[in-house]
Structure 1
Amino acid sequence: MTRTSQVVVIGGGQSGLAAGYHLRRLGLDFVILDAQTTAGGAWQHTWDSLHLFSPAAYSSLPGRLMPPQAGQEYPDAQHVVEYLADYEKRYELPIERPVRVLGVHRDGGLLRVETDSGPWRARAVISATGTWWRPFLPAVPGRGDFGGRQLHTVDYRSPKCFTGRRVIVVGGGNSGAQIAADLAHDPEVTWVTQRPPRYLDDEVDGRALFDAATARRRALDAGRTDTGGVASLGDIVAVPSVREARDRGLLKASPMFTRLVPGGVEWADGTRAVADAVIWCTGFRPALSHLAPLQLRGRRGRIATAGTRAADEPRLHLLGYGDWTGPASATLIGAGRPARDAAREIADVLA
């Protein structure tokens, strides 16, 4: 049996909840389809020591400030999960889970959302599936030859899983730095990066990152010179754990190796390091496979957008995939504004 709704939101993480908040305020009929079994989005799958870049008050979704976490300036991931669970209950958001969306199709004047629990038809769809579910692994020579364990950021949980192991951590961004710091007390850990680590000033946190991303978007929209956004400030936010490991001399980066060998890794000069495991902290790509039937993806796998709206399918909006769907839209503090804009535009069209 096909069910109907004015708007179907795909994804019940931070962007999906922000969209739901604004759709509810505008009085629209909508449903949120979430593939997870419980509330919290990707935050419930992160590593144990992960903390936010910003204090709770600056990591909030629209309408509800995140309460501070006792004893923590920067809340941990479990606190975020609890906040998101409370948020969806507070606003009585209509979430169905677990529901896996298989594909979005054009169906006359509507969009048809096929799921593992039956189809939906809607006048508008908001895709808010994020990137966590599509980890990126670079094509490094010898990856198939390495005899140890290989895992991505999404698979890492805690140092206790690697006690007595020789580990290579790959990646010069926040995930690489935080996981390298998490493991830094083990002398058998090697951190490798494509270029020397670029730390943001110690006083910089998520608030400054959001401001930088917003200023860049405004400059580009106005036809002014690209400010560089967050990338102009650096690659790594010096959260307390990273700062401590760095200042103690435990967080030193080596250049990127050129290939993997059966027992470890090898650099261009022939130097080798023995390794039992390689952790690839090499980023993510947008999780957009459910939109494949619409045939919208262009260069670099992105869908062309005007604001949050898909340029070639005006009934589709995208939230939370990066700056191309709104300044800092993949962050808690940045999720609200694009969600508001998408909800308002949908409301205007439906009216």
Structure 2
Amino acid sequence: MTGEKRTQVVIVGGGQAGLAAGYHLRRLGVDFVILDAQAEPGGAWQHTWDSLHLFSPAAYSSLPGRLMPPQTGEEYPDAEHVVSYLRDYEKRYELPIQRPVQVKDVDREGERLRVETDSGTWHARAVISATGTWWRPFLPAIPGREKFGGKQVHTVAYQRPQDFQGRRVIVVGGGNSGAQIAADLALDGIDLTWVTQRPPRFLADTIDGRALFDAATARRRALDAGRDDAGGVASLGDIVAVAPVREARDRDLLRATPMFRRLTTGGVEWADGTSAETDAIIWCTGFRPALSHLAPLGLRGPRGHIPTIGTRAATEPRLHLLGYGDWTGPASATLIGVGRTAREAAREIAMLLR
């Protein structure tokens, strides 16, 4: 695609959120295009670490209209199975995806929004931003980080424990990625130190993604109804006890250490003056929403978020944000959770176009 083109809606991002939005727009008869920066289908799932599995069975990890088939021999599907499902999904519904297309900027142009890409310009009456967070890893401002002489990687660059054989490794982060990567390393015999800001909180072994989605939905309904905030998923704990995490925990391989205060050239140092040498640090410290393409609109509020009403930008009714987490819909960053908010966004856009 070169030059300039027009459509009713541009969806930026061809991962799970973009596909769910496309499904609902198609059902409503809206003309749209999905612009995906990735060369292949699958969104961020094609870049995760080797051992990653979902928190939920396949039937509870599905996009609208098409149940994810179970994976043979696995109760909780792995990332490769998810990629296959997403590839099949976009083919099944013949979603109009162009890739690889890098969206550079979205800005206003009269009654339309102008979407500048590395292969031309689109003019749309509405835009759905569905770029997620994987592409913007967060690294904390820890003193000495630039002086550390060992290897440093974020969650996005971790693949397998064999890459760290013979090394002393510190994993930083008390959420699901930190626990899963720490367990992955520990079960492979890697010399591991697991560092967390607070003592890790494991959810009950019986809780998986089904219960988490229900808790997130119940919290949103309570807040919308003006009732007290019961805490939702956060009230249950921080870490889903998937099988490898349970095994490492029960074998006493997941002992959490408090966060260090600074890095040195050869290791880390804690507030009490104790120190440890290490060869590598894996930062499982989360992500921020990938929204740089929306900067020309000038919509950012506190913490880098764009204030929204549902999925719609509060001060730009032609823009919807989908799949970034609870601030754009309960559990909207999950496969099962994004469908509901995608439906609501598509309906709002269809009304706007009319």
TM-score by length of 1: 0.99
4+ aligned runs moved over 6 Å, structure 1: none
Give the deviation of 1:278 after TM superposition.
0.3
1:215–1:227 contact (8 Å) kept in structure 2: no
Correspondences of 1:24-35 after superposition (within 5 Å): 24-35=26-37
1:252 aligns with 2:269: no
- Distance of 1:211 and 1:227 partners within structure 2: 13
The equivalent of 2:272 in structure 1 is 269
1:152 aligns with 2:176: no
- Distance of 1:309 and 1:227 partners within structure 2: 25
The equivalent of 2:61 in structure 1 is 59
Task: Name which of 307, 310, 313 aligns with 2:313.
Answer: 310
Task: Name which of 199, 202, 205 aligns with 1:199.
Answer: 202
Paired letter, 1:312: T
Q: What are the Cα deviations for residues 42-67 of structure 1, in whole angstroms up to 9, with x where unaligned?
A: 00000000000000000000000000
2:161–2:190 contact (8 Å) kept in structure 1: no
Structure 1: which 5+ residue stretches go unaligned?
A: none
SS state at 1:161 partner: helix
Q: What are the Cα deviations for residues 63-90 of structure 1, in whole angstroms up to 9, with x where unaligned?
A: 0000000000000000000000000000
Correspondences of 1:82-121 after superposition (within 5 Å): 82-121=84-123
- Distance of 1:187 and 1:337 partners within structure 2: 42
Q: What are the Cα deviations for residues 24-45 of structure 1, in whole angstroms up to 9, with x where unaligned?
A: 0001100000000000000000
Give the deviation of 1:255 after TM superposition.
0.8
Task: Name which of 170, 183, 194 aligns with 2:172.
Answer: 170
1:204–1:237 contact (8 Å) kept in structure 2: yes
The equivalent of 2:304 in structure 1 is 301
Q: What are the Cα deviations for residues 240-284 of structure 1, in whole angstroms up to 9, with x where unaligned?
A: 010011011111111111111111111111111111100000000
Give the deviation of 1:23 after TM superposition.
0.4
Structure 2: which 5+ residue stretches go unaligned?
A: none
Q: What are the Cα deviations for residues 295-338 of structure 1, in whole angstroms up to 9, with x where unaligned?
A: 00011111010010000000000000010100000000101000
Change (3 A) 1:273 1:346: same
Give the deviation of 1:12 after TM superposition.
0.1
1:319–1:338 contact (8 Å) kept in structure 2: yes
Q: How many residues are treated as equivalent by the alignment?
A: 351
Give the deviation of 1:155 after TM superposition.
0.5
Paired letter, 1:319: L
Q: CA RMSD in A?
A: 0.6
- Distance of 2:271 and 2:348 partners within structure 1: 53
Give the deviation of 1:187 after TM superposition.
4.8
Task: Name which of 76, 79, 82 aligns with 1:80.
Answer: 82
TM-score by length of 2: 0.98
